[in-house]
Amino acid sequence: MIDETRSYLTEIEEFMQQSPDAGVIQSYLVEHALVKIYSAFESEVRDALAERCASSGDLACDQYVANVVKRTVRSIRINELTGILGGFGEEYKMSYSSKIGQYPDAQIAYDSIVANRNAVAHGGSRPATWNDVYAWWDDALPIVTEFRTALFV
């Protein structure tokens, strides 16, 4: 879903470049982009967890884990991702914290995406611009890619 979202954002960026005065359409696209990005990040986290836990060789067990992950991974703030990894062991949590600590801009961008997406989802104000969202996307990716990496230490 990360690649799909990247393509989607590229298409929006092309539209924005061609229509800099898009007005209200731009604000709707920003809202939709925030939801799409959040969804891609959430899917990446769920997929990584399901992949990590699918090594039992027991199809029923694998399905159970996939369903539990789908129901329990409801919010993907950084502290919650760290907590999920802590459930696998302290070394997973520490590895992740150490890796994402190398990306201070990623943490800020990721938190901005989550906060703005939540504002959109719950009817709050939406101060983000397209340029903000488009920049946050690339900056925030290490938060989810390092989550996957930490799961397979």
Q: What is the pLDDT of residues 5-22, one digit of tens each?
A: 999 999 989 988 888 777
Q: 3-class DSSP state for residue 65?
A: helix
| 146 against 54, higher pLDDT | 146
How many residues comprise the chain? 153
pTM of the entire predicted model: 0.85
pLDDT at 1: 85
Q: Which amino acid belongs to residue 91? A: E
pLDDT at 93: 93
Give dist(CA 127, CA 129) in Å, integer.
7
Structural domain for 98, as ranges: 2-151
Tell me the pLDDT band of 4, cut-offs 50, 70 and 90: very high
Tell me the pLDDT band of 126, cut-offs 50, 70 and 90: low
Compute, in degrees rounded to 10, the torsion defined by CA atoms 127, 128, 130, 135. 160
Give dist(CA 11, CA 13) in Å, integer.
5
Which residue in the block uniquely carries the two structure tokens 């709707």? Answer: 28
Structure tokens, 153:
């230490």
Overall domain count for the chain: 1
Tens of pLDDT along 104-121? 899 999 999 999 998 888
Tens of pLDDT along 36-90? 999 999 999 988 888 888 777 788 887 887 787 777 787 789 999 999 899 889 9
